[in-house]
Every structure is written in structure tokens, then in C-alpha cells.
């Protein structure tokens, strides 16, 4: 159906740049640019200077998620359902931001097992089953090929729109154009060529294609740029900003409903289903698996993709609503399809360059999707459909053929061409049919069927091959019945009463009200029943029988993918093989040269022996198998290795034992690691303790030396005087008496010294006895003063007391406090000037305690000595001031006593102005716990 | 000729006993109670021998000994170090710095007199 729009008053024959030759030239130039970028990327990769080694390229290449369905279709959806287009982007955003660990596990697993497609992933997980890989491939092809067709249709539609410029003619059935005159046909062929050149350049064991990824990342930039450009133009060029558009819509009765949060006709269930579906699609769409898992260079890139890709989605959706609403306002009643607004809005405003840019943006969205999807599907078709069949055909030249790598590449290339032509064919046949127009979500729903087998496989050891087969089959059948067939019916390819009456009139089997389930939109309905069948049969069939040996071992590889530091795969093989045979086998599929270099690399890692001298043990066999798995899929690789090696199958219990051992080894090695960390820590502590001990030893030495010095000094005098007396019986009486008095005094000093040293040692070691009692500090001070009365009188010194009554009691040891006061008083007396000496004692309440001060009018103490005097044996002063009396221990002991009761003892002094020794005692002693300190 | 001995020690009772002992033995005695005074008296009085305590205020015995040995005017002066620190390192340090002999406190007065006489060659 052709719908003509009156061109208006514009000049008819105006010169325009939007004609067929220009469009063809621009398209070819753009695709040429893609070839150039991809070629450059591959070249750089060959030189080892990868251009895709950055996380940004990885995140951008994920933008392949946004196809023409996004580029043109989002606006179409928004024009019908307002923000109803959003779940398609909310799902992936949630998965990337919150569910990235799923992707991480997929990447780690795929790398460890050389998995190159989602079919291979599922097949490998459930015991390397050909059947399962084939089934996944079939589901993927059936679900995805129409999606490829949709891209071609979008390209074709955009071309026909541009060609009819300056008129705006809605693209009708393209079938009216012969195939060979249809530009989208040639575009499909060029894309096939691109996929062949950059997707199957050579067989790589990792199936990575750096050039292709670089081109895809570029395409993501181009389509985002084009979409934002047209968005800005519509919002600020045609209209007067966001608010202008939304105000106009608000005043329009027919459009107002589009600005409500959940537009009518689409409930919360629908939102939930679409979000879930899109979230699963970002993980399991073959092209997403290819880009996010297979092409991943470094799993740390995931970190940036986790926010950059959602940001990309946000940016490309920013202008969807303004363009949709702007288009509805602009083309009100003109019958312009909202899916074309992105292109028709600039066209209607005669903005040719912008229209051309939008066309290129749409082209980039289409080509990116087609290229990656085709490469991903061709790998699956080759490895999981064609190879197993070829390997089964006995007598085929395949077996004798020396080098199969060319055959393999041929199959891949054929598959690419086949898939693209299939897509084109579907597009030509389906045309404007509903089945094609609605394929986006239908396709997503098909891919979602992989979810139970994938997620179950990664987290549940109990899943079996039979369970996965049953679940996938059931889910796929229900999907076909509730979504695909109805879309055929809606396209008129099936009788309409299939939908309304049910098959053969069974109303209970109506495909979109299955078993009477109504009230759901078709996607939610399909998702509910297909997941019910899929998950139900997967779990039920899986638990019917225990996993076999190979299923159990694969399950361990997948479920514990994030735990293994080293794959245990090699441990699960027993048998004999020949190195030469293994290398020949690998060579047949990878090419002899690649095989040889791979084996040489292996030999180098294992002691640098010659390849022939390698021991064909389980590890080498496993290595060979993983090389093959990258090229022909894990199931085929398993079969091929089994054909050259004499294998002894392991029983389930043996596998379990090995896995058990492996996990025990892991536990042991974890324990060992922990132990060695603990040992290191202990060594460090010991070292520190040793250093501390050495310091303490040094201190002890110093103290011993000081103590002996202090002890020897009085002993020296005592011995000298004694000998003098002994040797001189005729000594004068006066001398005799003087010397005897000195001996007595020195002996007293010695005894005091010994007592105080022991006392201090007791206090310091925590062995001192403390008696706590409530006591009146005033009374203690007065008693001490009374006992030292004699000392003051000898020096003719005065004592002044300032001791107020009625102060609170404190908790302390009475004898110890007397000891402190005696020390302070005798210390003060020692330094008093003769005749005019005066000691002043004050007691005063301060915050939370009492403070005692002993002030003398002696020579004072230099500031640098204020702390030294509290050290052991450190008397200061220039002279022999009454030296024999002091032991150098009085102040250190006093300080420790005061501190024991939670107080402080310190000195305040200015040389020449006397000194004040002051201590503070709290009402509630903070520390009386020294008694309990370790002895 | 009467030999002159300088006693340098900060312990008054030791000084008293040494002074009494050496006078009784017929020596002329000079006393210093700290390191600085010891060096000053050594230069002023030019004693034949110094009884030098190690642990003294202001300047320790090692430094005094070193200063005496560095002073050409004081060449030939005998130094007998006395210390309460009897460790080997102290002894060798003192001898290394040029002391003629080293005695550990407490000492026998007879040994001390014998040592002094030996050093003074009388």
C-alpha cells in the first residue's frame, strides 16, 4: 500500500543530494570504512598491538545490543505506549549493574574451557553433548534469523524513504522491487563478505576477532551520534526544547495519555516481563554472548562496562520520547509511521545532511547486529550442527583428509552466507507481516529459553543433559505455540480461528489464553508458560537420575569456575595417547603450522623439551582437546580425541573421588596459604618482640650497671673507712668516731638503696601489694609533716600548711601515700637554702580529684631536667648536695605510686625560684588493676 | 721529694677516706669534686698522679683523662682511674684513653696504695 503525502509548496525539481547514486555511494563508503577499521584492527592484533585492549572499546562494542529496533523502533514504541519502550533498556542496565557476576562467571568458564558460543557453553556443561548443542543452535537460528530479516527490512525501508525524497512515501511491500534491483540484497551480500573476511579469516582457538570488534565499537559510536544529533535537532530545532514538546502534548487530548507513568494497556506485569526478557537477552543473545564473553580480552573490562554500557543505553534513549511526541505533533493526521520519525522529521524539514546522517546511523545499527549475529550463529551452525553430522558420516573423505582447517573455514563461510540469505529470504517473504514487525520481542523470548539451562548449569550441580534437553525442548515448543504460531496467524499465514477458537475448537488450548490464562499481554503469557514448562521439566528430569561421571565433572568445572585457580579437567582423564597422533589430530583442524606452534608452546612451558619427547599424559590430552574445542566445539573435540586415544572410562565414583580430592587439595592449599600467612605474621611479631627484648635487655643492662654502681659507691666508702680503722689502731678518737659514723650512714644508705630497688621492681612487675582504703588526705599530710619535723629543724627551715577541712575522701593506700609525701618532703629539705628555707604544703580540690603541692625555695630545676629527675638513678644538680642521702629512686617510685591510683605527679620550676612538686589524685581511681597484671 | 696526688671524685665520703689514706702514706693531696675542677686542678697543681673517678658531674673521668693526655704540659702525669662500673668495656675504654691503671670500686686500700706507689716509681 502506497501512502502519498502531499509535498506541500516546496519546489518540485529542486536539486537534492538525496538521490540514489549519493545514497549508494555513502552506504558503500560507510561500509568501506568498517572494512578499513576491521582490517586495521586485525593487523594491529597480528602485530601484538591490540586496539581493543581497552575497557572502553569492550563497553562500546556491547552497544551491538542496540539494533535498528532501537534506532527506529524505540520511537515507534514510544509513540504508542509512552515510556513503554524503556523496559528493553532497564533490563540490561540492571543486569550489567547488579548481575555482572553472572557475566564474569560466563567469561571465566568460557575462557577456561575454550567455549566459543552459547550452544557450546550449554553442550559442554551437560557432558559435551552433540544433541544439546544442536538443539540450542536450532533454537538460536529459528529465533534469530527473523531478527536479521528485520534489520534488512529496516535498511531497505530507510533507503526507499530517502529515494523518494523530497516526497515522504511510506515504504510499502518491497516485493515490488526485484531482488537484483533491491539495494538491501547487495548490502546483505556485502555484510556476508565482511563477516567472512573478518569473522573467519583463520581458525582461532579462542574465536576472537579483534578487527570485527573494533568496527562494532565504531558502529556504536556512529549510531549514538546520529541519534543524539536528530534528537537535538527535533527538540531544539523543530521545537523549543523539552518543555515545549511536553507542554504541547499535555494540551493535546489524544496524546496526553502517553506521558503517564504506566500507559494504559500495559500493566505492571508487562513491565516486569519485558524487563526480565531484556535482562536475559543481554546475557544470552548469541551476539551478546559473542561480544561480551567470547570477544572479551580481559575480564577486568567488565568493571567499566558495568557502568559505561548502561550509560550508553541512557544516552541513546534520552531523545526517544521527544522525537516520538514531536513526530506525533508534527505529522498529526498525516499517516506517517512513527517507526520512521527519526528519518522523516529531518526530511520534512528539508534537512538533507541530517537525514543522510540518520540513515547512516540506522545502517550502522543494522550492520553491527547482522555481522556479529551472523558470525555467532555460523560458529554454532558449524560446530554444533554440521561438524557432528560430518564426523558421523563414516567413509567420508573427511577422515583421510590431512588438513581439515580449510574444510572447517569453508563450512563457516558457507554458514554465514546461508544465514544471511535465509534472513533476506524471510524478509522478502514476510514483508510487512506482523510476524516480522513483532520479531524483536519474539526473538528475545526464544533466547530467554536458554536461561534455565545456562543459569542452572552455572549454579546447580544436579542439572543433567536429559534435564537440559527436556527443558529447552519444552520451553522452545511452548514459545513456538504461544508466540511464534500466533504471530503467523496474525500475519494471515494461519487461519485466524486458531487464535480465537483454539486448534480444532479446543478453547482451552487457545495459544494466547492457554488453559484459560487470561489478562496477560502476549509476552508475559508466553514467558509464564514457557518458563513454567522449561524450568519445570529441566528440574524434574534432572533429578530423575544422578549426573553421570562426565556430567558431574563438567558441572564442577562450571559451578566452581570462580574457585579453581587451575582447571581440574586434566585430572578427569585416564588412558594412553601418542603425542604425534594428538598433534596430527589438532593439525587437521587448526592447520599443521598452528598445531605445531601450539604444541611447541606447551613443550616450552613443560621444561622446554622437544615436542616428540613430551609425555602424552592427561594434561597434554586435555590441552589438545581444548585446542580442538575452540575450533570445532567441545562435543566434537571430545569425540575426536577419544578416536585417537585409548581411554579408560572413569566411573562416577572415581570422578567423584577425584573431584573430592581436588576440593580437598583446594582446602589444604587454602589452609596452607592461611598457615603460611599466619607464620609470616608470627615471624614478624617475633622479630618485633625480639627487637623489643633486645631493647629491654639493653635497658636492663643499663639498670644493672646503674644499680651496681649505686651499690658499689657506698660499699667503697664503707670498706675504705673500715680498712683505715683496721690498719691504724692508734687513730685519733675524733677521726675514729667520725669514720664510724660515716660507715653507719653509708650502711644505712646501702640498705635504703636495696629496699627501694626491690620496691620499685615489685611495683614495676605488678607484684606490689596495694591496700585501698578511704582516707583523708589532709590527715595523711599532717602526719608526714610531723614525722619529718626533725629534718626541718636541723635546717632551720619553716613549713607552711594550707590544708582546708571537709574535703572528700579518696581511695588509696595510706602507707604508700605517706611514702610519697616523705619522699617529696625530704627531697625539698635537701635543696633548701640554710636558715631561710621554707617549704609550703597546699591541698586543694580540683575537677574530679584533689591536688597536693610541695613548694620549696631552693635553687629550682632546669626545664630540661623536669622529666629526667623522674628517671631511675638520675639525680641532677651540680654539687654533692647531701649526696649520700639520695638513692635516685625516690621520685620514680613516688610517680609510680601516684599513677597507680590514677593520678599524676609532676614538677613545676623556674631555676632560681624554687620548685613545686605537684600531684593529683582522682576521687575514683581509674586504675587499681595492677594487682591483676601478669606476674 | 713529696709526690702530689689529685683526688677527683664526687662522693664526699670516698674523698674523705682517700684523702686520709694518702696523707697518711705521706703524699701531698689535692681534691676536686667534679670533672671540670679536676682538669683545672691538674693544670694548676701539676700533680704527679690523678685518682680519677669516672662518673662525675660536668665532665666525666674519660673526658678528663683524654684532656690530660692531649695536653703537652701535663706529659708524664700518671692517671689511675677508679670506677664503680666494673665492666670490661669500661676498663679497656679507660686504658685506651691513656689511663695508666684502672681499679674497680670497692677497692682494698692496701692494693690502692701499692698501685699508687708502683705508678710513682717509689
Q: Is the pLDDT of residue A12 over 90?
A: no
Q: Which CATH architecture has domain A769-932?
A: 2-Layer Sandwich (3.30)
- Asked whether the beta carbons of residue B109 and residue A713 sit closer than 8 angstroms, the reply is no
pLDDT digits (tens, 9 = 90+) for A526-575: 888 899 999 999 999 988 888 777 788 788 778 877 775 555 556 666 67
Q: Yes or no: say if A384 and A119 are a contact pair by the CB < 8 Å rule.
A: yes
Residue A2 pLDDT level (bands cut at 50, 70, 90): very low
Greatest extent of chain A over all pairs of C-alpha atoms, in Å: 152
The residue among A700, A707, A718, A723 with the most chain B CBs within 10 A of its CB, best to mutate, is A723
Cis peptide before B106 (omega within 30 of 0): yes
- Asked whether the beta carbons of residue A720 and residue B34 sit closer than 8 angstroms, the reply is no
Q: Is the pLDDT of residue A928 over 50?
A: no
- Asked whether the beta carbons of residue A883 and residue B86 sit closer than 8 angstroms, the reply is no
pLDDT of residue A470: 92
H/E element, A781: helix A777-787
Chain A residues lying within 8 Å of B51, measured CB to CB: none
- Asked whether the beta carbons of residue B33 and residue A880 sit closer than 8 angstroms, the reply is yes
DSSP-assigned letter for residue A200: S
Q: Give the Å distances, CA to CA, from A746 to A93, A165, A718, A830, B31.
A: 91, 124, 7, 17, 21
Cα separation, A518 vs A524, in Å, equals 11
Which range has highest mean pLDDT (A419-428, A477-486, A563-572, B13-22)? B13-22
Q: What DSSP string describes B2-23?
A: --EEEEE-S-HHHHHHHHHHHH
The mean per-residue pLDDT over the stretch A597-620 comes to 77
Q: Give the Å distances, CA to CA, from A464 to A130, A469, A530, A742.
A: 14, 9, 19, 103
Residue of chain A with shortest Cα separation from B84: A709
- Overall domain count for chain B: 1
pLDDT of residue A486: 83
Residue A663 pLDDT level (bands cut at 50, 70, 90): low
Measured between CA atoms, how close is A721 to chain B, in angstroms? 6
Residue A4 pLDDT level (bands cut at 50, 70, 90): very low
The CATH code of domain A20-239+286-392+410-433 reads: 1.20.1740
Task: State the residue for C-alpha cell 526517544.
Answer: A320
- Asked whether the beta carbons of residue B17 and residue A724 sit closer than 8 angstroms, the reply is yes
As given in the structure block, the three cell numbers for residue A791 are 629534718
- Asked whether the beta carbons of residue B85 and residue A879 sit closer than 8 angstroms, the reply is no
3-state class percentages of chain A: helix first, strand second, coil last, to nearest 5? 70, 5, 25
The mean per-residue pLDDT over the stretch A93-114 comes to 86
Q: Is the pLDDT of residue A271 over 70?
A: yes
- Asked whether the beta carbons of residue B11 and residue A715 sit closer than 8 angstroms, the reply is no
Chain B residues within 8 A (CB-CB) of chain A? Answer: 10-14, 16-18, 20-21, 24, 33-34, 55, 57-58, 84-87, 104-110
Measured between CA atoms, how close is A794 to chain B, in angstroms? 20
Chain A residues lying within 8 Å of B103, measured CB to CB: none
* Least confident among A85-99, A507-521, A625-639, A907-921: A507-521
Domain borders along chain A are 20-239+286-392+410-433, 566-650, 654-761, 769-932
Cα separation, A191 vs A214, in Å, equals 16
- Asked whether the beta carbons of residue B57 and residue A878 sit closer than 8 angstroms, the reply is yes
Structural domain boundaries enclosing B81: 4-120
* Residues pairing with B51 in the sheet: B7, B80
pLDDT of residue A799: 87
- Asked whether the beta carbons of residue A716 and residue B33 sit closer than 8 angstroms, the reply is no
Report how far Cα A381 is from the mean position of its chain's Cα atoms: 34
The residue among B12, B15, B105 with the most chain A CBs within 10 A of its CB, best to mutate, is B105
Structure-model confidence comparison of residues A604 and A103, the more confident one: A103
pLDDT of residue B31: 93
Structure-model confidence comparison of residues A539 and A332, the more confident one: A539
Measured between CA atoms, how close is A738 to chain B, in angstroms? 10
Which of B33, B87, B107 lies nearest to residue A705, judging by beta carbons?
B87
Task: State the residue for C-alpha cell 554440521.
Answer: A386
Q: CATH number of the domain that B75 lies in?
A: 3.40.50.2300
- Asked whether the beta carbons of residue B109 and residue A723 sit closer than 8 angstroms, the reply is yes
The mean per-residue pLDDT over the stretch A696-722 comes to 82
The residue among A874, A880, A887, A888 with the most chain B CBs within 10 A of its CB, best to mutate, is A880
pLDDT digits (tens, 9 = 90+) for A203-240: 665 667 888 888 889 889 999 999 999 999 888 888 88
pLDDT of residue A648: 67
Which range has highest mean pLDDT (A210-219, A780-789, B38-47)? B38-47
The residue among A720, A747, A878 with the most chain B CBs within 10 A of its CB, best to mutate, is A720
Chain B residues lying within 8 Å of A868, measured CB to CB: none
Q: What DSSP string describes A663-719?
A: HHHHHHHHHHHHHHHHHHHHHHHHHHHHHHHHHHHHHHHHHHHHHHHHHHHHHHHHH
Beta strand B101-104 with B78-83 is parallel
What's chain A's average pLDDT? 80
Residue of chain B with shortest Cα separation from A706: B85
Alpha-carbon dihedral angle through residues A881, A887, A891, A892, given to the nearest 10 degrees: 140
The residue among A716, A743, A749, A868 with the most chain B CBs within 10 A of its CB, best to mutate, is A716
In total, the C-beta contacts within 8 angstroms joining chain A to chain B are: 77
pLDDT digits (tens, 9 = 90+) for A796-811: 888 888 888 888 888 8
Measured between CA atoms, how close is B109 to chain A, in angstroms? 6
- Asked whether the beta carbons of residue B108 and residue A719 sit closer than 8 angstroms, the reply is yes
Which range has highest mean pLDDT (A631-640, B16-25, B83-92)? B16-25
Q: Is the pLDDT of residue A397 over 50?
A: no
Q: Yes or no: say if A863 and A879 are a contact pair by the CB < 8 Å rule.
A: no
Q: Give the Å distances, CA to CA, from A103 to A97, A98, A443.
A: 11, 11, 21
* Least confident among A388-402, A554-568, A589-603, B97-111: A388-402
Residue A661 pLDDT level (bands cut at 50, 70, 90): low
The CATH code of domain A654-761 reads: 1.10.287.130
Q: Yes or no: say if A481 and A511 are a contact pair by the CB < 8 Å rule.
A: yes
Measured between CA atoms, how close is B70 to chain A, in angstroms? 26
- Asked whether the beta carbons of residue B108 and residue A723 sit closer than 8 angstroms, the reply is yes
Residue of chain B with shortest Cα separation from A710: B84
Chain A residues within 8 A (CB-CB) of chain B? Answer: 705, 708-710, 712-721, 723-724, 727-728, 735, 739, 742, 746, 877-880, 883-884
pLDDT over 70 percentage in chain A: 86
Beta strand A646-647 with A575-576 is antiparallel
3-state class percentages of chain B: helix first, strand second, coil last, to nearest 5? 50, 20, 30
ipTM of the complex: 0.92
* Least confident among A82-91, A363-372, A459-468, A694-703: A694-703
Measured between CA atoms, how close is B33 to chain A, in angstroms? 8
Ramachandran assignment for A711, one of left (phi > 0), alpha (psi -120 to 50 degrees), beta (any other): alpha
DSSP-assigned letter for residue A832: P
Q: Yes or no: say if A705 and B87 are a contact pair by the CB < 8 Å rule.
A: yes
Which of B12, B16, B84 lies nearest to residue A883, judging by beta carbons?
B12
Amino acid at each position: 500500500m502506497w501512502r502519498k503525502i502531499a509535498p506541500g509548496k516546496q519546489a518540485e525539481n529542486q536539486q537534492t543530494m538525496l538521490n540514489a547514486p549519493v545514497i549508494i555511494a555513502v552506504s558503500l563508503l560507510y561500509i568501506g570504512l568498517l572494512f578499513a577499521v576491521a582490517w586495521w584492527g586485525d593487523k594491529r592484533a597480528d602485530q601484538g598491538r591490540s586496539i581493543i585492549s581497552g575497557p572502553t572499546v569492550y563497553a562500546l562494542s556491547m552497544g551491538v545490543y542496540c539494533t535498528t529496533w532501537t534506532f527506529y523502533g524505540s520511537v515507534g514504541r514510544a509513540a504508542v505506549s509512552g515510556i513503554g519502550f524503556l523496559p528493553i533498556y532497564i533490563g540490561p542496565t540492571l543486569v550489567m549493574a547488579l548481575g555482572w557476576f553472572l557475566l564474569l562467571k560466563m567469561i571465566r568458564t568460557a575462557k577456561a574451557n575454550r567455549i566459543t558460543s552459547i550452544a557450546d557453553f550449554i553442550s559442554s556443561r551437560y557432558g559435551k553433548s552433540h544433541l544439546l548443542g544442536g538443539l540450542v543452535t536450532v533454537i538460536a537460528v529459528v529465533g534469530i534469523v527473523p531478527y536479521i530479516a528485520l534489520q534488512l527490512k529496516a535498511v531497505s525501508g530507510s533507503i526507499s524513504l530517502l529515494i523518494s525524497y523530497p516526497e515522504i512515501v511510506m515504504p510499502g511491500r518491497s516485493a515490488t522491487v526485484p531482488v537484483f534491483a533491491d539495494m538491501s540484497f547487495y548490502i546483505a551480500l556485502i555484510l556476508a563478505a565482511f563477516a567472512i573476511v573478518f569473522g573467519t579469516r583463520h581458525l582461532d582457538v579462542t574465536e576472537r576477532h579483534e578487527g570485527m570488534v573494533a568496527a562494532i565499537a565504531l558502529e556504536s559510536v556512529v549510531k549514538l551520534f546520529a541519534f543524539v544529533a536528530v534528537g537535538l535537532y527535533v527538540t531544539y530545532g523543530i521545537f523549543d526544547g523539552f518543555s515545549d514538546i511536553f507542554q504541547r502534548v499535555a494540551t493535546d487530548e489524544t496524546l496526553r495519555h502517553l506521558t503517564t507513568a504506566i500507559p494504559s494497556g500495559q500493566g505492571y506485569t508487562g513491565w516486569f516481563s519485558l524487563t526480565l526478557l531484556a535482562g536475559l537477552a543481554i546475557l544470552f543473545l548469541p551476539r551478546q554472548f559473542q561480544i561480551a564473553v567470547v570477544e572479551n580480552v580481559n575480564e577486568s573490562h567488565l568493571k567499566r562496562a558495568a557502568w559505561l554500557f548502561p550509560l550508553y543505553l541512557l544516552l541513546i534513549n534520552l531523545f526517544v520520547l521527544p522525537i516520538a511526541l514531536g513526530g506525533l505533533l508534527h505529522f498529526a493526521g498525516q499517516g506517517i509511521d512513527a517507526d520512521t520519525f527519526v528519518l522523516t522529521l529531518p526530511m520534512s524539514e528539508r534537512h538533507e545532511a541530517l537525514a543522510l546522517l540518520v540513515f547512516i546511523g540506522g545502517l550502522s545499527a543494522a550492520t553491527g547486529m547482522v555481522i556479529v549475529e551472523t558470525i555467532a550463529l555460523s560458529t554454532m551452525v558449524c560446530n554444533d550442527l554440521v561438524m557432528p553430522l560430518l564426523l558421523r558420516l563414516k567413509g567420508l573423505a573427511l577422515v583421510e583428509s590431512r588438513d581439515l582447517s580449510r574444510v572447517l573455514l569453508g563450512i563457516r563461510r558457507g554458514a554465514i552466507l546461508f544465514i544471511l540469505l535465509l534472513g533476506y529470504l524471510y524478509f522478502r517473504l514476510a514483508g510487512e507481516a506482523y510476524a516480522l514487525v513483532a520479531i524483536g520481542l519474539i526473538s528475545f523470548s526464544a533466547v530467554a529459553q536458554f536461561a534455565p539451562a545456562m543459569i542452572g548449569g552455572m549454579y546447580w550441580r544436579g542439572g543433567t543433559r536429559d534435564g537440559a534437553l527436556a527443558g529447552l525442548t519444552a520451553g522452545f515448543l511452548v514459545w513456538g505455540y504461544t508466540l511464534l504460531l500466533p504471530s503467523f496467524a496474525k500475519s494471515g499465514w494461519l487461519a485466524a480461528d486458531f487464535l480465537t477458537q483454539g486448534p480444532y475448537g479446543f478453547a482451552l488450548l487457545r495459544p494466547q489464553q492457554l488453559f484459560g490464562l487470561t489478562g496477560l499481554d502476549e509476552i508475559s503469557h508466553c514467558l509464564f508458560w514457557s518458563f513454567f514448562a522449561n524450568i519445570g521439566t529441566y528440574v524434574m528430569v534432572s533429578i530423575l537420575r544422578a549426573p553421570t561421571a562426565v556430567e558431574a565433572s563438567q558441572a564442577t568445572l562450571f559451578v566452581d569456575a570462580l574457585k579453581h585457580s587451575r582447571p581440574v579437567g586434566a585430572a578427569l582423564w585416564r588412558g594412553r595417547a601418542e603425542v604425534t597422533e594428538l598433534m596430527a589430530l589438532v593439525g587437521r583442524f587448526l592447520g599443521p603450522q598452528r598445531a605445531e606452534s601450539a604444541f611447541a608452546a606447551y613443550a616450552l612451558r613443560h621444561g622446554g623439551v622437544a615436542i616428540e619427547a613430551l609425555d602424552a599424559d592427561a594434561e597434554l590430552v586435555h590441552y589438545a582437546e581444548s585446542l580442538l574445542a575452540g575450533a570445532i566445539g567441545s562435543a566434537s573435540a571430545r569425540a575426536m580425541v577419544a578416536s585417537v586415544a585409548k581411554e579408560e572410562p572413569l566411573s562416577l565414583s572415581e570422578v567423584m573421588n577425584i573431584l573430592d580430592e581436588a576440593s580437598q587439595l583446594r582446602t589444604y592449599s587454602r589452609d596452607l596459604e592461611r598457615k603460611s600467612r599466619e607464620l609470616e605474621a608470627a615471624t614478624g611479631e617475633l622479630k618485633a618482640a625480639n627487637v623489643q627484648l633486645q631493647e629491654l635487655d639493653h635497658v636492663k643492662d643499663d639498670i644493672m650497671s646503674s644499680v651496681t654502681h649505686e651499690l658499689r659507691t657506698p660499699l667503697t666508702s664503707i670498706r675504705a673507712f673500715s680498712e683505715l680503722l683496721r690498719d691504724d689502731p692508734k687513730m685519733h678518737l675524733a677521726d675514729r668516731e667520725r669514720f664510724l659514723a660515716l660507715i653507719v650512714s653509708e650502711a644505712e644508705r646501702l640498705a635504703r638503696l636495696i629496699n627501694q630497688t626491690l620496691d620499685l621492681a615489685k611495683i614495676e612487675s605488678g607484684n606490689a601489694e596495694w591496700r585501698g582504703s578511704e582516707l583523708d588526705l589532709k590527715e595523711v599530710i599532717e602526719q608526714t609533716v610531723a614525722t619529718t619535723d626533725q629534718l626541718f629543724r636541723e635546717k632551720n627551715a619553716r613549713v607552711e600548711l594550707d590544708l582546708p577541712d571537709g574535703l572528700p575522701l579518696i581511695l588509696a593506700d595510706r602507707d604508700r601515700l605517706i611514702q610519697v609525701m616523705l619522699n617529696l618532703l625530704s627531697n625539698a629539705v635537701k635543696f633548701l637554702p640554710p636558715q631561710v628555707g621554707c617549704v609550703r604544703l597546699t591541698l586543694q580540690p580540683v575537677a574530679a580529684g584533689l591536688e597536693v603541692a610541695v613548694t620549696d625555695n631552693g635553687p629550682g630545676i632546669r626545664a630540661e631536667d623536669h622529666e629526667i629527675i623522674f628517671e631511675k638513678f638520675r639525680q641532677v644538680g651540680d654539687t654533692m648536695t647531701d649526696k649520700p642521702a639520695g638513692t635516685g629512686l625516690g621520685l620514680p617510685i613516688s610517680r609510680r605510686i601516684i599513677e597507680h591510683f590514677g593520678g599524676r605527679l609532676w614538677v613545676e620550676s623556674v631555676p632560681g625560684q624554687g620548685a613545686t612538686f605537684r600531684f593529683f589524685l582522682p576521687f575514683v581511681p581509674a586504675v587499681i588493676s595492677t594487682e591483676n597484671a601478669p606476674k | 721529694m713529696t709526690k702530689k696526688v689529685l683526688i677527683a671524685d664526687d662522693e664526699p665520703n670516698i674523698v674523705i677516706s682517700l684523702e686520709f689514706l694518702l696523707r697518711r702514706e705521706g703524699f701531698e693531696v689535692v681534691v676536686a669534686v667534679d670533672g671540670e675542677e679536676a682538669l683545672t686542678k691538674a693544670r694548676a697543681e701539676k700533680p704527679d698522679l690523678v685518682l680519677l673517678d669516672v662518673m662525675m658531674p660536668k665532665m666525666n673521668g674519660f673526658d678528663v683523662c683524654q684532656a690530660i693526655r692531649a695536653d703537652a704540659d701535663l706529659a708524664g702525669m700518671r692517671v689511675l682511674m677508679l670506677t664503680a662500673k666494673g665492666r670490661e668495656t669500661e676498663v679497656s675504654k679507660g686504658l685506651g684513653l691513656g689511663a695508666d691503671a684502672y681499679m674497680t670500686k670497692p677497692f682494698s686500700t692496701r692494693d690502692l696504695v701499692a698501685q699508687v706507689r708502683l705508678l710513682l716509681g717509689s
